[in-house]
Amino acid sequence: MMKGLGCLFLLLVLAVIVGEVLLIIYLGGPADPIGGHLTLIILAVAATIIGIKLVRWRGKQIPQAMLTGRIGRAATGLIGAVLLIFPGLATGLVGLLMQLPPVQALLAGLMQKIFLVFTATAMKRMGGMGGMGGGFPGAGPGAGMTPAQMAQLQKMMGGMAAGMPPQGGGPAIGKGKGKRPPKTYDVKPE
């Protein structure tokens, strides 16, 4: 299913590119009173520079938006900023519209759902359950590992689970010759 969506997305991108080129050829003809193709090129470069700045700014807002539950509006703004980077009149216009708060409010619910679907898919690929809590690879004993990988790790570690002390509590501190572990400090004492 994902391969089909990838192909569909690629076709959509190609259609947008072809449409943008046709629009530029149509609007930037020699009879254009505002300067022809040169004006369109200058506008495209300016929109790309603005789009790059907006992507950086909007990208910094995403983590806070995820925590506050406003990811729909933040994602709408970020996608609009990405559309500004692509040279073209239609993508630039849509990207600018997506920066407006009323448009963000209108698209917030849809973007929230899309973001949640992508997040759940990513969590499943990483070995989690696709819901709250997930299981990132390396997040604990066996998280994100296949049974064969877990068996190989247990064999390498002498039969104990990854990251877990052996049965019986692990090495005892202070036994043996009465030595204690050295003191460690987070900061140097004055």
Give a yes or no: residue 141 inside a domain.
no
Give a yes or no: residue 64 inside a domain.
yes
d(CA 178, CA 135): 41
Give a yes or no: residue 131 inside a domain.
no
Residue 96 contacts residue 51 (beta carbons within 8 Å): no
Range of the domain at 45: 16-125
Mean pLDDT by 10 residues, the chain (190 residues): 70 84 71 63 85 93 86 91 85 90 91 85 71 49 62 61 45 52 59
Give a yes or no: residue 136 inside a domain.
no
- Predicted local confidence at residue 52, as pLDDT: 94
Measured N-to-C along each axis, helices 71-85 and 37-68 cross at an angle, to the nearest 10 degrees, of: 160
- Predicted local confidence at residue 181, as pLDDT: 62
Q: Give residue 52's Cα distance to chain centre.
A: 16
- Predicted local confidence at residue 12, as pLDDT: 83
- Predicted local confidence at residue 7, as pLDDT: 79
- Predicted local confidence at residue 43, as pLDDT: 80
Give a yes or no: residue 189 inside a domain.
no
What's the predicted TM-score (pTM) here? 0.56
Residues in the chain: 190
Give a yes or no: residue 132 inside a domain.
no
The tally of domains found in the chain comes to 1
